[in-house]
Amino acid sequence: MGDEVNDGIRERLAVVGEIATEIMHELRNVLQVISSSAYVTRQELERGDPEAARPHVAKIERQARIAHSVVDDLMALARGETLHPEPVLLADVMLAARADIGPGSARWDDRLDPRDLRVRAHPGLFARLLHALYENAIQAGGARETTITTRGRVEAGHVVVEVEDDGPGVRAEIAPVIFRPLVSGRPGGTGLGLALARRIAAAHGGSITLVSPGAGGGARFRIELPATG
Ligand SMILES: Nc1ncnc2c1ncn2[C@@H]1O[C@H](COP(=O)(O)OP(=O)(O)O)[C@@H](O)[C@H]1O
Ligand SMILES: [Mg+2]
């Protein structure tokens, strides 16, 4: 029995370590933007031009808000809290998931049935899940503009959300293990995006699977969530 307890503790530590790594990874980007904006702000102030400093201060404030939400959302996940998901418009969560994605990196093809489809979700965490899929699709597509299709519908009492791209698809040798933490098929990857996506889906009482290849040969991921009911 002692071993079972130890296994349980080991598992929790692994989860916490994985989420802490993801938090550090995201905060590093935020801190970089804050440092460079603070530098420009100081320069403008020293030149006696507070008006020119203003947008950079706004950028610092925005990044600080992002840092808070990264910590709040991911700590909730690390503590294994019940999420208290609420019915939210899928379309709104999709937009939040794309907020940081620059124009021109993707062509968005949205097919929600109905258009005001709601999912029972923690909006911040569910947006993070979709963001992980969108980011991977864009990275897999390389330099060209990737078409990303998001489908949403109700199926046999579940809400099904599918994200499909027109990239090269997931390489066969890593496809069976891509949801494992630290498995990455690209240089500079952390291998945490899909591990986190799976954890978020599970925390919603749902699941995520790779349905590969999609109809067009790209990657297709399928998320199932309990119905809004
Ligand atoms: N849409 C996709 N198309 C092709 N390969 C993908 C796609 N999504 C994920 N992958 C593969 O799965 C790997 C793991 O993804 P992820 O867990 O997000 O980690 P990372 O993006 O840091 O590598 C990626 O490195 C890539 O090889
Ligand atoms: Mg990724």
Among all ligands shown, which has an atom nearest to the Cα of 192? 1
Is pTM beyond 0.75? Reply is yes
Residues in the chain: 229
* 3-class DSSP state of 71: helix
Report residues near ion ligand 2: CB below 5 Å.
136, 193
Rounded distance from Cα 64 to ligand 2 centre (Å): 23
pLDDT value at position 215?
Answer: 62
Which residue has the least CA distance to atom 26 on ligand 1? 185
Structure-block tokens of residue 122: 């923690």
- Span 2-55, pLDDT tens digits: 677 788 888 888 888 888 888 888 899 899 999 999 999 999 999 999 999 999
Task: Provide φ and ψ at 84, rounded to 5°.
Answer: 50, 60
CATH topology of domain 86-226: Heat Shock Protein 90 (3.30.565)
Q: Could you give the maximum distance between any two Cα atoms of the chain, in Å?
A: 69
- Span 111-147, pLDDT tens digits: 999 999 999 999 999 999 999 999 999 999 988 899 9
Residues with CB under 6 A from ligand 1: 132, 136-137, 140, 165, 167, 169-170, 174, 178, 183-186, 189-195, 219
pLDDT value at position 192?
Answer: 87
pLDDT at 81 over 80: no
pLDDT at 1 over 80: no
Among all ligands shown, which has an atom nearest to the Cα of 182? 1
